[in-house]
Structures are given as structure tokens and as C-alpha cells.
């Protein structure tokens, strides 16, 4: 087995670790060979929130006696190459949550024709949405040519859907504008596109670096785009802020500008994690702590499945995702990297925030 591991105390540092994979798997288990996965700023957030939310617990790092290294979870595709489970067929493909590695052993439970969950003991208390694997052979209308887009956008735009839905449900807290920090991030783009399609949504304002202004304006989903260098030009109106960045300098400047007109700040991602801290630190440092909260999409997903049922939830999210996928053709360029070893340098660039916002990284695990 080969894993790419990140140093928990400094995500800039990574290593490739090898370990001999045993020939046998236990009764009921399945060996998956990871084919490809995406890597975005969303994955960096998983690393930043690894301890506070538990992302390090999904895929324990091998050869890690001091527990200083971890596997940042990724979304991608895998094939069943060995099955000791009568309900799972050898050769079928699945989509779901993986370590950045070439293999994963799962223990399928709650098996249906459409999906299964990993029932491994260490995953039982983790959010169910991350333990679910889609069985592609049975998926109606499955189009393998869309795999790369799915890996890149599914996790991001599910979060965007949840944000749109949560904001609308709360009537935007009565705000006249929604400020989206790190407006060039893929989750932010999905959120802005979703809000733009929603009737009676407030003004959509994107905040971004000066280098990304032209790109963000070209998307056409923001009513206004403002540079971090020009935060003083933000309209002093009632506002809800959705923060994808974790950049305390930017957050403080916006909070100082708007004061009581900032009705709520939802912290979602950490694209500028090096200018902030952990999730807990970000919330603790917030100037308006009583109006700042961390938005955890899996909790909203479970709520909506309870409200709408699984089919109702799937119908709404699938429609949202289809729109976002079609729109992505206008702006996203996919960059493919062959092999975990070749991915190491790009990993550092993503963690450092040095990837072009219109670029989507897909890692094809085997370089043969």
C-alpha cells in the first residue's frame, strides 16, 4: 500500500509511505483499488479541521507510531479487486471518500443496489455522508466521461447547495447583501451561482484577491466583486458573510467596517488557513463571536434527508449539481497528474494556495 500523508502540525509537509498489503481480507470485507481522486482547497480544510471535526480519523496513517502524520480525505473513484462480501461484486466501481492512497479495505454495511456504507469500527461515529459509497453499476444515467467533474465538484457543490438552502430557509437573516469571502474558490462559485438562480436573494458580493478580480468578474454570478485591498468600499448595509478563507485579517476588516450591520458570519472553509488557524481558533478569534458559527454541511444534509426523505433530497441536489456541472464547462480547466509521487509537488502548491482558481486537479493514482 502507498499513502500520501500530511504532517498534522504543518500541512505544507507531506511524505509518501509504503507498506506491504496483506494477501487476505476478513469475511465481509472488500479491497478497493483507488483509481483517481480530486484535490482542492476543500481538502485543505479537511486537514485544518482534522482534529476539531475528526477528519484525521477516517483513514489512519500507516507507519505512524507517534500519530503525527495523517491522511487528508479525498473524493474519487475505486474498483473492487477483491471481495469477501457476497453482496459486492468483483470488478464493480464505486464513488466516495478515500485516503490519498492506492488501496482501501472497507467493510460494507447497509448494502443496497445503489450504495453501501463502510462499517469499519473506527468510522462508526463519523458523519454518515462521508461513509457512503455509490455503486456506479446501478446508477441510472451514469456517464463515466463526467467522473472528473464529479470528483471535483460533488463535495464542493453539495456544500454550496446546503449553504443556499440554509440561507434561504433563514430568509438571509433579513440581510440586503451576502458577502462571500474567497470568491474564486469552487465552493464559493457554486454558492454564488445558486444564489443568483434563487428568487428574491440579496445582492451577491464576492471578496477576493486583486489577482483574481478579473476571473471572478468573468463568472457573471456576482453582482459586485471587491478586492481585499479595497474592503472599505463595501456597502455599509445589513449583511450576512460566508467565509471560505479563514483569513483573520480580512474578516476583522469586514467586521470593523460593518459592525452591527454584520448580522451573521458563517465559517465554511480555510483557503487561507496559514493566515488564520484551526477552526476552533478562527471561531475564538472572531470579533463578533455571538454572530459567528461554523457551517457543517453533513449536519444540514442529515436534517434535509429527514425533512424531504432520501428521494426528495436526491432530486433537489441532483438538479443543483447538474446546473453547476454544466456551468463549470465555461470556466474550469482540468489538470491531470499521474501517480502519487508526481502529485507531491502539486499538493504543496494547493496547500499554499498557489493554484489558479480556474484549475481543477485530478490525480490518477497509477502512473503506468
Is 113's pLDDT higher than 90? yes
- What gap in Å lies between CA 79 and CA 103, rounded to an integer? 10
The whole-number average pLDDT for the span 267-280 is 54
Q: How confident is the model at residue 368 (pLDDT cuts 50, 70, 90)?
A: low
Whether residues 203 and 253 share a domain: the answer is yes
User: What is the share, in percent, of the chain residues with pLDDT greater than 90?
Assistant: 76
Which residues are bridge partners to 207 per DSSP? 181, 226
82 and 56, same domain (yes or no):
yes
Q: Is the residue at 308 inside a domain?
A: no
The pLDDT confidence band at residue 270, using thresholds 50, 70 and 90, is low
pLDDT in tens, 170-216: 999 999 999 999 999 999 999 999 999 998 999 999 999 999 999 99
Say whether both 223 and 347 belong to one domain: no
Identify whether residues 45 and 78 lie together within a single domain: yes
Do 49 and 166 share a domain, yes or no?
Answer: no
With cut-offs at 50, 70 and 90, classify the pLDDT of residue 284.
Answer: very low
In angstroms, what CA-CA distances link 40 with 4, 90, 167, 352?
15, 30, 24, 11
Q: Is 311 helix (H, G, I), strand (E, B) or coil?
A: helix
Give alpha helix (H) positions in the chain: 41-48, 128-131, 147-169, 186-197, 213-219, 248-258, 279-285, 297-328, 340-351
pLDDT digits (tens, 9 = 90+) for 217-264: 999 999 999 999 999 999 999 999 999 887 888 988 999 999 999 999
Cβ contacts of residue 158 below 8 Å, gap of 6+? 297, 301, 317, 321
Number of H helices, E strands in the chain: 9, 18
Whether 11 maps to a domain, the answer reads yes
The answer to the question of residue 319 being in a domain is no
Give residue-wise pLDDT tens across range 125-178.
Answer: 998 889 999 999 988 889 999 999 999 999 899 999 999 999 999 999 999 999
Alpha-carbon distances of 292 from 207, 231, 304, rounded to whole Å: 18, 19, 22
Strand, coil or helix: 276: coil
Q: How far apart are CA 102 and CA 340, in angstroms?
A: 8
Instruction: Please provide the average confidence, as pLDDT, over all residues in the chain.
Output: 91
The number of folded domains in the chain is 2
Average pLDDT over residues 54-78: 96
Q: Which domain holds residue 339?
A: 2-142+332-364
Question: 290-322: string of b/e by CB count within 10 Å (b at 16+)?
Answer: ebbeebbbbebbeebbeeeeeeebeeebeebbe
The answer, yes or no, to whether residue 355 has pLDDT greater than 80, is yes
Of the three residues 280, 298, 316, the one that is the final residue of a domain is 298
Is 263 within 8 Å of 237 (Cβ atoms)? no
Q: At residue 282, does pLDDT exceed 70?
A: no
Q: Is the distance from CB of 197 to CB of 168 less than 8 angstroms?
A: no
Task: Give the pLDDT band of residue 26 (cuts 50, 70, 90).
Answer: very high
DSSP string, 18-84: E-PPPS---TT-EEEEEEEEEE-HHHHHHHHTTTTT-GGGSSPPSS-TT--EE---EEEEEEEEEE-
Q: Are residues 206 and 132 in the same domain?
A: no
pLDDT of 367: 64
CATH number for the domain spanning 240: value is 3.40.50.720
Order of strands across the sheet that contains 177-181? 224-227, 203-208, 177-181, 239-243, 262-267, 292-294
* 94 and 6 assigned to the same domain: yes
* Residue 273 scores a pLDDT above 50: no
Contacts of 28 by beta carbon, 8 Å cutoff, 6+ apart:
84, 85, 107, 108
Residue 78: CATH number of its domain: 3.90.180.10
What is residue 50's predicted lDDT score, i.e. its pLDDT? 85
Give the model's pLDDT for residue 162: 96
Length of the chain: 368
Lowest-confidence range among 72-81, 88-97, 269-278, 312-321?
269-278
pLDDT at position 328 is 92
**For the chain, first and last CA: distance in Å?**
16
pLDDT value of residue 120 = 96
pLDDT at residue number 276 = 47
Amino acid at each position: 500500500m502507498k499513502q500520501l500523508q500530511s504532517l498534522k502540525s504543518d500541512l505544507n509537509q507531506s511524505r509518501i509511505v509504503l507498506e506491504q498489503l496483506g494477501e487476505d481480507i476478513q469475511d465481509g470485507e472488500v479491497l478497493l483499488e483507488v483509481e483517481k481522486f480530486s484535490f482542492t482547497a476543500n481538502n485543505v480544510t479537511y486537514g485544518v479541521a482534522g482534529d476539531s471535526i475528526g477528519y484525521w480519523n477516517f483513514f489512519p496513517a500507516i507507519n505512524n507510531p507517534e500519530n503525527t502524520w495523517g491522511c487528508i480525505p479525498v473524493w474519487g473513484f475505486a474498483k473492487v479487486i477483491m471481495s469477501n462480501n457476497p453482496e459486492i461484486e468483483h470488478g464493480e466501481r464505486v464513488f466516495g471518500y478515500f485516503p490519498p492512497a492506492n488501496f482501501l479495505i472497507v467493510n460494507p454495511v447497509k448494502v443496497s443496489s445503489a450504495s453501501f456504507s463502510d462499517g469499519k469500527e473506527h468510522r462508526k461515529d463519523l458523519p454518515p455522508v462521508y461513509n457512503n459509497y455509490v455503486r456506479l453499476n446501478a446508477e441510472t444515467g451514469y456517464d463515466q466521461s463526467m467522473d472528473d467533474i464529479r470528483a471535483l465538484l460533488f463535495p464542493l457543490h453539495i456544500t454550496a447547495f446546503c449553504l443556499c438552502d440554509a440561507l434561504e430557509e433563514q430568509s438571509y437573516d433579513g440581510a440586503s447583501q451576502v458577502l462571500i469571502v474567497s470568491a474564486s474558490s469552487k465552493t464559493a462559485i457554486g454558492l454564488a451561482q445558486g444564489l443568483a438562480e434563487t428568487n428574491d436573494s440579496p445582492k451577491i458580493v464576492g471578496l477576493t484577491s486583486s489577482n483574481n478580480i478579473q476571473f471572478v468578474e468573468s463568472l457573471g454570478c456576482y453582482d459586485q466583486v471587491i478586492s481585499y485591498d479595497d474592503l472599505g468600499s463595501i456597502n455599509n448595509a445589513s449583511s450576512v458573510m460566508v467565509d471560505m478563507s479563514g483569513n483573520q485579517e480580512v474578516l476583522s476588516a469586514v467586521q470593523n467596517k460593518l459592525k452591527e450591520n454584520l448580522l451573521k458570519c458563517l465559517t465554511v472553509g480555510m483557503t487561507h488557513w496559514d493566515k488564520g488557524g484551526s477552526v476552533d481558533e478562527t471561531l475564538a478569534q472572531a470579533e463578533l463571536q455571538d454572530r459567528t458559527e461554523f457551517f457543517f454541511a453533513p449536519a444540514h444534509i442529515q436534517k434535509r434527508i429527514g425533512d424531504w426523505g432520501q428521494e426528495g433530497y436526491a432530486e433537489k441536489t441532483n438538479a443543483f449539481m447538474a446546473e453547476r456541472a454544466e456551468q463549470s464547462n465555461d470556466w474550469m480547466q482540468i489538470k491531470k497528474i499521474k501517480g502519487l509521487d508526481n502529485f507531491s509537488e502539486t499538493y504543496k502548491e494547493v496547500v499554499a494556495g498557489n493554484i489558479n482558481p480556474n484549475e481543477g486537479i485530478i490525480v490518477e493514482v497509477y502512473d503506468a
